[in-house]
Structure 1
Amino acid sequence: MNHRICFLTHNYRGLNSSGNKAKHDNEVTLREIGAVNLGVPTTYYDSKVASFFLDLAGVVKLSMTVSRGDIVVLQYPVKKYFAFVCNMAHAHGAKVVAIIHDLGSMRRRKLTVAKEIRRLMHADYVIASNATMKDWLSKNGFTNGLGALQLFDYRSASPCRERAARNSEAVPRVVYAGALSPRKNTFLLDMAKVAKGYDLEIFGNEDGLPGLKASEHVHLHDFMAADDFIANAPGDYGLVWDGDSLTTCSGHFGEYLRWNSPHKASFYLRAGLPLIVWRCSALASIVKELGVGILIDRIEDIGPRLSAITPDERATMAANALSVAQRLSTGAFFKDALKEAVDRIE
C-alpha cells in the first residue's frame, strides 16, 4: 500500500451491539496495518450529547488533516456526515473507501433504494458485505469501484478451542444466541415445539420473548459474555435464522438475510461452531464455499439434515470452522477486501 490509509473513529456507546463490535474490530485492523486516525481519539461515553459533539469534532478535524493522495476508509452508515466527509476528502485530493455494515433501504427501510445508491456514490469504492450485496448494488445503479467482504471479522482474546469429536449417538446441539424480541425471533416459540433429533441451546434474554419455555430438547441460558462463549459455549452448530416463520426467514430482519452477512455468523464461527443457514440467504454461498456448515430450506429440515451427516463430514466442517475462526480473529477478511480496494484505486 503506497498511499496513506486513513480512517475516522467515533464515540462508541458500548461494544455489546453487533454493529459497534464490528466497526471497532475494523478499527483495530486499520491500526494494525498502520492506518492513521484523522479524527479525535476513540471514546466510549454513553451520553448521546457527548457522542454527538465528539463525532462532530472528529469530522471537523478530518476536514483539516486529510491530504492529497490519502485513502480514507469510512464505515457505512456514517450518521449525518457521509456525503460531507466524502466531499471534503475529494476537495483535498483524497479518495474514499466505504465498507458497508448496514443498508438503511433494506434493514430499516428508512431510505429509498435510489437515495441510498446516490449517497454511496459519493465514495470512490465500496466494500459490500458479500458478493450477493455487491451484485444488488451493481444492478441498482452503483457504478463506482465495488468489492465484497464476505464475513465480518470477529476479534477476541479468547482462544477458539478445537471441539472434540462426540459420540456418533450423541444428540447434536444447535445453538441460537442473541437478543430475543418478538419482532426478530418469534420463530423460536414454534421451533421449541417441533425440535426433533437435536437439542436447542438458546442463549439470551428469556424475558424478551414472552412464551419461550424450556423443555426436554430446549435449554434456556442467560447471556454469556462473548469471550466466555467463544471459549466455553456448549454446542455443535450455530443457527442463523430470523423472523416469525419456520418455513422461511420473514419480516424486515428475516428478508435482510438475503443480502447481508450477519455478525452472528462470525460470532458462531469464531467459537468454532459450523453454521446452519437458510438456503436463500447471502450466507449460503459463503458457507458452501468455505465448507463450514449446512443449508436448510425450513426449520423442519434441521433434524433430518443433521442425522445424515457422517462423522467424517462433521470433522471436516469443524476443522474448516476452526480455520475460519483463526482468520476472523486476525482481521483477515477486512485486510483482504481493503487490499483489493486500494489496489483498484491505485
Structure 2
Amino acid sequence: MNLNDKIYIAGHRGMVGSAILRALQAQGYNNFLLRTSSELDLRNQKAVTDFFSQEKPDYVFLAAAKVGGIVANNTYRADFIYENLMIQNNVIHQAYVNGVAKLMFLGSSCIYPKLALQPLKEEYILTGELEPTNEPYAIAKIAGIKMCDAYRDQYGCDFISVMPTNLYGPNDNYDLTTSHVLPAMLRKFITAKRNGDTSVTIWGTGSPKREFLHVDDLAEACLFLMENYNEAGLVNIGIGEDISILDLALSVKKIVGFEGEILTDTTKPDGTPRKLMDVSKLNELGWKAKITLEEGIQKVYEEIKDCVWSL
C-alpha cells in the first residue's frame, strides 16, 4: 500500500475498524473512505454497488459485522446469518467488480468446531460441529472465508482472511448484558471500588481459560498481513497464551485497586473449558503480539476508570 492509496474501512467506528484506522493514520496513510452504517447500509446491494463504482477504493478492510454475545446470537439467529452474509456478499463481490487491489476479511474464532483440539490450528476449520448458540454467525464467517478463496481461485483476486482471538481495548462494549468477559469484569471491579463494595462475583468456577489480544496489536497484525500475506485460507491472530478466568479476575482486581474479595457463582455456566489460538503461522510470517495482557489491561483501565455507566 502507498500512503495516498484510497482505503475503505468497513466498520470504522467499531473496536476493530477504529483500531485499524488509528494504525494506518499513525503510519501516514491519509486517503480514507469512511461511511457510517446510516450513510451506507452494507446490507443493501444497490447502495454498496453505487458506493464502490463511484469511489473505487484501492484497498478494503472488511471489519463490519452484526455482532453480539451468546444471548443475542442465540435469540436473533436469522438476523445474524442474514445480515452478515449480505454485508460480506455485497462488499466482497463489489471489491472484485471494481478491481480492488486487496481485501482483508475479518472473522472470529467461533468458526472453529466446538470440540476442536487446543490450540486451534487454521486447518481445524470445518472438521466438526459448531457451538450451537452462535452457529448462524459462525457459518456466515466461514462463508466469508470460502467466498474470498473462491474469488481468488476463479478471478485471481488478492482477498485474504484473518481470524482474531478475543479482543479488548478502546471502543469496547461495557454493557453487562451484551459485553464479553474482560470488559464486563473491568466494569464490575471499577464500580465495586467506587461504591465501596466488599466483593465482586464472577460467573462459574473461574477455571475456564481464555486468550486476550489488545485490539491495537490486532490492527498492527492486519497491516502487516496486508503488506506481506497473499494466500488462500486464513490466518489466526492472537497472542498465543491464555489465562484462567479466576486469574484474570485477580489481575483486574490488582490493576483496579479493589480490596474486596472475589466470589464465584457456580450456579452459572463455565462455558467452553479452553479456547486458545495457534498463532505459529503468523509468528513464522514474522509478526508477534507486543502488548502483554497486564500492560493492556492497565492501558484500558486508565482510559475508562472515570466512566460513569448508566444502570
Q: By the TM > 0.5 criterion, same fold?
A: no
When normalised by structure 1's length, the TM-score is 0.37
Q: Which has the larger radius of gyration?
A: 1
Query: TM-score by structure 2 length?
Result: 0.41
